[in-house]
Chain A
């Protein structure tokens, strides 16, 4: 009886979710099977043609490569850096509170502001990075960080890592609060070294929150759009064109709503596969630990 009543009370929420998420999702799925153009909703049913076109297209494969490279590299570095900084800030340091507060600043910045700030830092003529690296004789001349296809994606990844590693650090810190002090002390008294203490006492406590952080970051980076759009708009020579930039270009600039929807759904599918794989691997690791 209570179950039915709860379900009844949850109905408005389900209706809201169905209207806000379910209906647009179904529409997107339907669009992906049509050749609909933007502003002309009545497209013809074309079956899987948009998906087949995507897999045949060099542009899609390239954007997929860019997206996966960006996602894996930024998430991996953010996880390691965030974990190390989180562990560091858990130590009884002087001014720890201030350091923790400063850590939040990059994370709190809107992505567009962060991207614009880094564009200024990377500026090929007046940028701080060029000034720093030439004055310390690390490079000989000013470089075009966002204009060189070999550097542009790494430069954007750098800006993204700077903004989001604090998120992982904060998650690590939160997880560390759950480790009982007695357990740490017992491990220490039993003669466990730093690595053993980390592996057997600390890691199991923070593994789950870290997994959640990684999953969230993978979702974010697979759909990356704003930071790239502000910094390079997908250039130079498409070197930073991610799947989301491609979706935007196809659906909104070229008006190919059907094809754009198909690429958008493919990028969601990639997210699901990567997240599933990561969760399985982490569960197996946690179980064996």
Chain B
């Protein structure tokens, strides 16, 4: 009898467990699971995105967000490949240079109708170029960024330079003083590796010299005028020994390490370098010595220069959770969230620049440089075949930087490759 009872109890327990499991499974199926693809370098850190997401999920218990972080170099290809995936992403972080390609290949959803007037008027105009192609929006901008001129105040003071250079020729002249006085062998560090980083640096200089990547018909236009002047400037700065020749191997992180070690007087880099180089003693030997300004201009052509390095959040066309994904995106991009995470990225909302906590806080100099720059963020070309366009330019610009081709010949070769001649 006792044996019978214990068997009965055992079966009852099993049945209860089964029922509980079915109940849990049903509860889980009522949940919306969002798959998000983010980047694990620059901008908001992985920890930031996880914290933002945790706060969002706490407010939306029916939503689960699976996060995946990849290096920037893998982001484009992951988004492209996920189109054919049965279990793709619902939210993807993407770069300003990809909307044309993603729109024409139907990889991202057109979300123009979801955007509210408050978003339109509240977000800086420069940020909108990140997500716009042919007057339609393919997501919401999230990160506002450009490359800025960083300088080491202690090195400038040692060289007797009292005014921060405001033009590129002045940067070269000051670098020559620093070099001639034997303070540094190579005063300027750039990210001129065969990568998108090189195109971003080139874009800043092309913008400074008044050039353009493509003409109104979309054909290459960088091989003459400002585009040619920009490359000539780069090559000359290597020949004169003021630019670090190792720059042809550097990505932005290499530039940050060299600058943060006190081995460069000037460096061109994204906004993320400010907090690490000037405020973080674990990452920098020059804490408190860093200055930052908008990238300089060229007399008679420009007063400042920039490159649009903003990033946006979009919803892939294959997502079955577009409404939930949009809600999550609007939370991440909201001013409240962006204002709470200013340590790694400057907010893109106009009124954030009026916040004394931001402008007078540890990020103040960076925020001021951003405030000036964001009104004229210079875009890289909006062409559907941007990866080919960029690859052709990278290879040929490097040929010239490495002394294997004259600037004019290198840029002509790049243009010929792009047009298929």
A and B interact physically:
yes
Contact of A146 among B247, B249, B399 (CB under 8 A): B249
Known: A125-B246, A149-B404, A252-B80. Contact between A236 and B398, CB under 8 A? yes
Task: Tell me if A253 is interfacial: C-beta within 8 Å of chain B.
Answer: yes
In the complex, A37 Cα to B394 Cα: how many Å?
Answer: 23
Chain B: interface residue count, which band?
20 to 34
In the complex, A125 Cα to B184 Cα: how many Å?
Answer: 13
In the complex the two chains form, is B195's CB within 8 Å of A254's CB? no
Chain B residue at minimal CB-CB distance from A255: B80
Q: In the assembled complex, which residues on chain A have CB atoms less than 8 Å from the CB atom of B193?
A: 147, 233, 235-236
Count chain A residues whose beta carbon lies closer than 8 angstroms to a beta carbon of B.
26
Contact of A254 among B83, B247, B249, B388 (CB under 8 A): B388
Q: In the assembled complex, which residues on chain B have CB atoms less than 8 Å from the CB atom of A50?
A: none
The prevalent SS among residues of B at the interface is helix
Q: In the assembled complex, which residues on chain A have CB atoms less than 8 Å from the CB atom of B387?
A: 253-255
Known: A38-B80, A39-B84, A40-B105. Contact between A147 and B246, CB under 8 A? yes
Task: Tell me if B391 is interfacial: C-beta within 8 Å of chain A.
Answer: yes
In the complex, A96 Cα to B194 Cα: how many Å?
Answer: 45
In the complex the two chains form, is A39's CB within 8 Å of B402's CB? no
Known: A39-B83, A236-B402. Contact between A147 and B263, CB under 8 A? no
Known: A125-B258, A146-B249, A236-B248. Contact between A249 and B81, CB under 8 A? no
Task: Tell me if B421 is interfacial: C-beta within 8 Å of chain A.
Answer: no
Task: Tell me if B245 is interfacial: C-beta within 8 Å of chain A.
Answer: yes
Q: In the assembled complex, which residues on chain A have CB atoms less than 8 Å from the CB atom of B21?
A: none
Known: A147-B248, A254-B385, A254-B387. Contact between A235 and B80, CB under 8 A? no
Chain A residue at minimal CB-CB distance from B77: A252
Q: In the assembled complex, which residues on chain A have CB atoms less than 8 Å from the CB atom of B107?
A: 39
In the complex, A252 Cα to B77 Cα: how many Å?
Answer: 6
Shortest distance between the CB of B182 and any CB in chain A (Å): 15
Task: Tell me if A232 is interfacial: C-beta within 8 Å of chain B.
Answer: yes
Chain A residue at minimal CB-CB distance from B405: A237
In the complex the two chains form, is B105's CB within 8 Å of A238's CB? no
Contact of A232 among B194, B245, B395 (CB under 8 A): B194
In the complex, A206 Cα to B90 Cα: how many Å?
Answer: 56
Task: Tell me if B26 is interfacial: C-beta within 8 Å of chain A.
Answer: no
In the complex the two chains form, is B398's CB within 8 Å of A39's CB? no
Task: Tell me if A209 is interfacial: C-beta within 8 Å of chain B.
Answer: no
In the complex the two chains form, is B391's CB within 8 Å of A249's CB? yes
Q: In the assembled complex, which residues on chain A have CB atoms less than 8 Å from the CB atom of B113?
A: none
In the complex the two chains form, is A39's CB within 8 Å of B388's CB? no
In the complex, A235 Cα to B393 Cα: how many Å?
Answer: 13
Q: In the assembled complex, which residues on chain B have CB atoms less than 8 Å from the CB atom of A232?
A: 194
Task: Tell me if A234 is interfacial: C-beta within 8 Å of chain B.
Answer: yes
Task: Tell me if A204 is interfacial: C-beta within 8 Å of chain B.
Answer: no
Task: Tell me if B76 is interfacial: C-beta within 8 Å of chain A.
Answer: yes
In the complex the two chains form, is B248's CB within 8 Å of A255's CB? no
Q: In the assembled complex, which residues on chain B have CB atoms less than 8 Å from the CB atom of A111?
A: none
In the complex, A108 Cα to B105 Cα: how many Å?
Answer: 42
Chain A residue at minimal CB-CB distance from B388: A254
Interface residues of B in 242-264 (CB under 8 A from A): 245-250, 254, 257-258, 261, 263
| A-B residue pairs in contact (CB < 8 Å), sample of 6 | A125-B257, A126-B261, A146-B249, A235-B195, A237-B402, A252-B77
- Residues in chain B within 8 A of chain A (CB atoms): 73, 76-77, 80-81, 83-84, 105, 107, 193-195, 245-250, 254, 257-258, 261, 263, 385, 387-388, 391, 394-395, 398-399, 402, 404
8 additional A-B pairs beyond A38-B81, A124-B249, beta carbons within 8 Å, are A37-B105, A39-B80, A39-B107, A125-B258, A126-B261, A148-B402, A253-B387, A254-B391
Which 5 interchain pairs have the tightest Cβ spacing?
A235-B194, A147-B249, A124-B246, A39-B83, A237-B398
